[in-house]
Amino acid sequence: MEVIILYGPYLLISGCVFGFFMAWGIGANDVANAMGTSVGAKALTLSQAILVACIFEFAGAYLAGGEVTSTIRKGIIDPVLLADSPDLLVFGMMASLLAAGTWLLIASFNGWPVSTTHSIVGAIVGFAAVGISIDSVSWSKVGSIVSSWVVSPLVAGTFSFLIFRSVQTLILNTNNPFDNAKKYVPGYMFLVGFVLSMVTLVKGLKHVGLSLNFQESLTYSLMIGVGIALVGSLFLRRIKNTRQQKGDVVFDGVERVFAVLMVFTACAMAFAHGSNDVANAVGPLAAIVSVVQSGGEIASKSIMPWWILLLGGVGIVAGLATLGYKVIETVGRNITELTPSRGFAAELAAATTVVLASGIGLPISTTHTLVGAVLGVGLARGLSAIDLGVVGKIIVSWMVTLPVGAGLSILFFFSLKGIFS
């Protein structure tokens, strides 16, 4: 108690710095995976991708990120058990941010495909289980989070397999793929708009002063879906069935239709990523801020101040601007094999899965979900070669991330505790 009153401003400032550091890490690496596919398929230029990321990451975090933030903030550890020692919660969350941020930095520089989500969850579980007590962790919640990490790539893979199969049947394997593409692609656009708005609305927008029941949500989502499909059709009208050179890749008319669709799925991807992954930086920070501002009280019902989200958003944009654009460029250059008709299927499947997880407050890894989705397209024979060795490495890296994240956060936790008391 005394610690918090005594050092309150310092704790608040360093919490913000660590949160910003974590958000920067997410922007530098994680966002790149979400946006790189669109750049690789030449659906967006690099600067367009960054613009889309800035807008939709923020929108996703603000409109649909609440559930995941609250899971990270108070779902993994039971705050009630910490009512007597709020300082431990503050130190722990600071340690977690620092641990996850550090690990992400190390992994990024070595090219290891780790997940921000796995790092932060591992870190929080680590400090709570070792630094406080085993019982302070709500293991049932952690169990469901970890199982969602296995399930989410599988779900995304199944979605993308089915979506790409439907593309093959309806469009690619027909006698007139170009006309069929123009006919059916607005349908996929509808799907993008409908799924995203449905999850966002059903989950609730009370915090922006909008309260809808299920029926209303359904109606509005249908309207938004149709609206997006109509806007998309307007863009499609301009496309002629001719080949076009973009960089060193040639696109025929069909792929150019899908490239328009991919602009929509790229927005969806950024929205989904924002709704799920921004919480990794914002959640712990929100916990710190609420404890410090209430003078040491662990209020489980407090509302998150808007500026925390802004800090997270700015951090992500800063990460994008300093390093992320380079990663997007690299990802984009290396995956030209993922043409728009494939890339959109992977993105739509991944975005849908991530947004659904956000709706029920499960922090999952966007990158791993996208990997699952890409594999789904590969299984539908949409890609000529996939490296399963890399998939194995990714699985290993997420197994390693948990103990490392936990270990680092335990280390930082005891250091902070030592410094302040």
Partner 1 sequence: MRSGIADIIKKSPFGPIQAHMIVSKASAEELINFLQFAIDLNWDEAVQSRKLISELENQADALKAETRGLLTKSIFLAVPREDILDLIKLADDIPNTVKDISGLMIGRQMEIPKQIAPSFLLFAKEAAAITDAAAEAVDYIDELFQFSFGGNAATKMQQLIEKLNSLENKNDHSEITLRAELFAIEKDFPPINIVFLYDIINKIGELSDRAEQVGHRISLIASR
Binding mask 5-34 for partner 1 (x = CB under 8 A): -----------------------xx--xx-
Structural tokens at position 402: 């948990």
- Could you give phi then psi for residue 202, rounded to 5 degrees? -65, -40
Neighbours of 170 (CB within 10 A): 17
Beta carbon nearer to partner 1, 96 or 116: 116
Cα–Cα distance, 190 to 312 (Å, whole number): 30
Beta carbon nearer to partner 1, 311 or 371: 371
Q: Which residue has the tokens 């920070």?
A: 285
Kindly state whether residue 269 participates in binding partner 1, applying the rule CB under 8 A: no
Among 152, 275, 276, 341, binds partner 1 (CB under 8 A): 341
Among 9, 47, 84, 111, binds partner 1 (CB under 8 A): 111
Binding mask 176-215 for partner 1 (x = CB under 8 A): -x--------------------------------------
Cα–Cα distance, 338 to 40 (Å, whole number): 7
Kindly state whether residue 168 participates in binding partner 1, applying the rule CB under 8 A: yes
Longest alpha-carbon distance in the chain: 75
Kindly state whether residue 391 participates in binding partner 1, applying the rule CB under 8 A: yes
Beta carbon nearer to partner 1, 91 or 398: 398
| Length reported for the chain | 421
Binding mask 297-326 for partner 1 (x = CB under 8 A): --------------------------x--x
3-state SS, residue 205 = strand
Among 46, 154, 218, 386, binds partner 1 (CB under 8 A): 386
Kindly state whether residue 116 participates in binding partner 1, applying the rule CB under 8 A: no
The CA-based dihedral angle spanning residues 180, 184, 189, 192, taken in that order and rounded to the nearest 10 degrees:
-120
Kindly state whether residue 330 participates in binding partner 1, applying the rule CB under 8 A: yes
Cα–Cα distance, 17 to 50 (Å, whole number): 23
Q: Which residues 6+ apart lie within 8 Å of 400 measured at CB? A: 114
Angle at which helix 325-334 crosses helix 46-64, to 10 degrees, equals 110
Residues binding partner 1: number (CB under 8 A): 53
Kindly state whether residue 84 participates in binding partner 1, applying the rule CB under 8 A: no
- Strand residues in 169-276 grouped as ranges (E): 244-246, 249-251
**Positions 352 through 371 that interact with partner 1 (CB under 8 A):** 367, 370-371
Q: Which residues 6+ apart lie within 8 Å of 256 measured at CB? A: 239, 244, 340
Q: Which stretch binds partner 1 (CB under 8 A): 74-82, 208-216, 267-275, 329-337?
A: 329-337
Cα–Cα distance, 107 to 322 (Å, whole number): 17
Neighbours of 3 (CB within 10 A): 18
Q: Concatenate the DSSP letters of all residues of 5-42 into one string.
A: HHHHHHHHHHHHHHHHHHHHHIIIIIHHHHHHHHHHTT
> What is the closest distance, in whole angstroms, from the C-beta atom of residue 45 to partner 1 in the complex?
18
Among 17, 172, 218, 310, binds partner 1 (CB under 8 A): 172
Kindly state whether residue 40 participates in binding partner 1, applying the rule CB under 8 A: yes
Q: Which stretch binds partner 1 (CB under 8 A): 36-44, 57-65, 227-235, 282-290?
A: 36-44
Among 2, 9, 47, 175, binds partner 1 (CB under 8 A): 175
Task: Please check whether residue 406 is in contact with residue 76, taking contact to mean a CB–CB distance below 8 angstroms.
Answer: no
Binding mask 123-162 for partner 1 (x = CB under 8 A): ----------------------------------------
Chain residues that interact with partner 1, rule: CB under 8 A: 28-29, 32-33, 36-37, 40, 108-109, 111, 113, 168, 172-175, 177, 252, 254-255, 323, 326-327, 330-331, 333-335, 337-339, 341, 367, 370-371, 374-375, 378, 381-394, 397
